[in-house]
Amino acid sequence: MARGLLRLLSIVLLLQAGAWAADIDVVSVERDGDRYRVDMQVRLEADAVLARDLMRDASRLPEINDNIVSAMVPADGHLHTVVEFCVTFFCRRVEQLQTVEAGKPATLKMTVLPESSDLKYGEATWDFRALDADRSYMRFNAEIVPDFWVPPVIGPWLIRRKMLEQARVTAAGIEQVAAELRSGPVGPDSAP
């Protein structure tokens, strides 16, 4: 019993550390007309291939980022996500249908299918490079064009702010889920 509690406490501490361990080197959000670009470079406490695989696993996406209301892969093999963003009075649920291509060594490219999405255009590239066995360097680039009304005066600022926040939340979420997987299962059935 004491060993089980000790293990649970160590996992909680790992998760707390994982939430703060993402070391962001570069993060920028730019706007050009109705087009938004984000570039983020961050060091993660997670293996490069595991980090990429977590971003490919639709069932894990809501764990990584709680703004992802749902994520599933229908029969057509594309990734369907519903993401909810709220900033002050402006809230929006954004549906996206995306193709997902995994490359080597640990790259992921997602392309929005506009006819089935709330974006006119969207493309994101995740590139994970190993630093050592348990750490990686992630470069994330994304470009989107919303296909919904954006409040003219504060809307662009809100979108930039949310994209920046979501990039940081996602990096911390990757670390947190990777730490959980490294620690193994916790619960009444996991004997010490």
Give the pLDDT score at 141.
Answer: 95
Place of tokens 């291939």: 49
Higher pLDDT, 41 or 166: 41
For the chain, give every domain's residue range. Answer: 2-183
Predicted model pTM: 0.76
Considering the domain 2-183 in this protein, what is its CATH number?
Answer: 3.30.530.20
Q: In this predicted model, what pLDDT tens digit does every residue of 25-75 receive, in sequence order?
A: 888 888 888 898 989 999 999 999 999 999 999 999 999 999 999 999 998
Q: Could you tell me the CA-to-CA distances from 105 to 19, 23, 49, 94, 102 in Å, in that order?
A: 25, 22, 7, 30, 9
